[in-house]
Amino acid sequence: MELGTISDMILQNTMVLNAQPKWTFGKNTCNTYEVFAAYFKAADGNLIPSWPILEIIEKDEALTMLFSISLLREAVRKTVEISNRVSTNLTLSLNLLPKFAESPNFVDQVKTCLHDYGLEAKRLQFEVSELQDLNETGCENLNIIHDELGVALVMGNFGTRHTNMPLLRQVHFDGLELDRSYAAHIPEDELTCKIAIAIQHMAHTIDMFLCAKGIDSQDQFEFFEEIGTFKGQGSLIGNPMTMEEMENYVKLYALPKGHK
């Protein structure tokens, strides 16, 4: 697919967003959800899966910026709309591409978006994969939106390959997201269970919360709830869904406005 075609699809706002809930253990509620571009709508109306297009976007700096800004603004807009209709305070979680975080206008783009749509900064959460490196500017920008604005930061894919401890020290993260490969072996594999418990203890020690991804069974759910994990995500909790389905989901499980 040509870069110009992808650029046109982004500019024409043809992204189709999906969402997946993040469950809060202990409270049995869901006020946080991850939003992502699941499809792009072609000129003929057919839906094109996003993953091959995103692979092209990530290799081009201009497309990365265009896509990231468009996704941020559309996801924030929809979050505010749903929050108002359902009368709840939703927290939006978005995966962040390093090139966007490293751009000179990243902080201003985030500020402008929050102002334009009236979303509280604490209701926005960026996920940064530990598999991706950030340069010094990217780390500084993330710390600015965290420390000065109050945007939450989470290290995603934690525990994969060589765990990125340097990034953990450089960026002021609020939480860790345990890679789904761990839940896949819980509770059957004793060593994996012990590692998950150790990571939970580490997160607690450094004042971070832990979110476990890939929870697909009741046994996995109960394990992570028992060890004190803050949030969980997976097919048992809810598969990726349309924004309309997500609105119905939060009507059932989100806490109303004014509730702590």
- Asked whether the predicted pLDDT for residue 164 surpasses 90, the reply is no
Residue 151, CA distances (Å) to 92, 107, 114, 126, 143 in order: 10, 11, 10, 8, 9
In a domain, 260, yes or no: no
Residue 26: how many other CB atoms lie within 10 Å: 10
Query: Alpha-carbon distance 143 to 171, whole Å?
Result: 6
Q: What is the pLDDT of residue 232?
A: 97
Angle between helical axes of 61-86 and 3-11 (0-180°, round to 10) = 20
Mean pLDDT of 162-177: 89
- How many residues make up the chain in this entry? 260
Q: Which helix (H) or strand (E) holds 152?
A: strand 152-158
Give Cα separations from 166 to 130, 132, 257 (angstroms): 10, 12, 38
- CA end-to-end span of the chain: 47
- 20 within 8 A of 235, measured Cβ to Cβ: no
- Helix residue spans in the chain (DSSP H): 3-11, 50-58, 61-86, 98-101, 106-117, 136-144, 165-170, 180-183, 190-205, 218-226, 243-253
With respect to residue 211, please indicate whether it lies within any of the assigned structural domains.
yes
> Which residue type is seen at 63?
L
| Residue 114 CB contacts under 8 Å (≥ 6 apart), including other chains | 76, 120, 121, 124, 149
Residue 153 lies in a domain: yes
pLDDT score, position 258: 62
Q: In which band, very low, low, confident or very high, does the pLDDT at 256 lie, cut at 50, 70 and 90?
A: confident
Whether residue 105 is contained in a domain is answered as yes
Q: Is residue 129 part of a domain?
A: yes
Reduced to 3 states (helix: H, G, I; strand: E, B; else coil), residue 205 is helix
- Distance, in Å, from the CA atom of 55 to the CA atom of 52, rounded to the nearest integer, reads 5
**CATH (domain of 76):** 3.20.20.450
Domain count, the chain: 1
Q: Which two tokens stand for residue 96?
A: 């962040």
In a domain, 258, yes or no: no
When mean pLDDT is compared across 31-45, 105-119, 158-172, the lowest value belongs to 158-172
- The residue range of the domain holding 207 is 3-253
Q: Does 224 reside within a domain?
A: yes
- Does the pLDDT at position 260 exceed 60? no
Within-domain flag for 259: no
| Distances in whole angstroms, Cα of residue 79 to Cα of each of 32, 92, 148, 212, 247 | 10, 7, 22, 23, 9
pLDDT single digits (tens) 217-254: 999 999 999 999 999 999 999 999 999 999 999 999 99
Query: Are the C-beta atoms of residues 20 and 233 closer than 8 Å to each other?
Result: yes
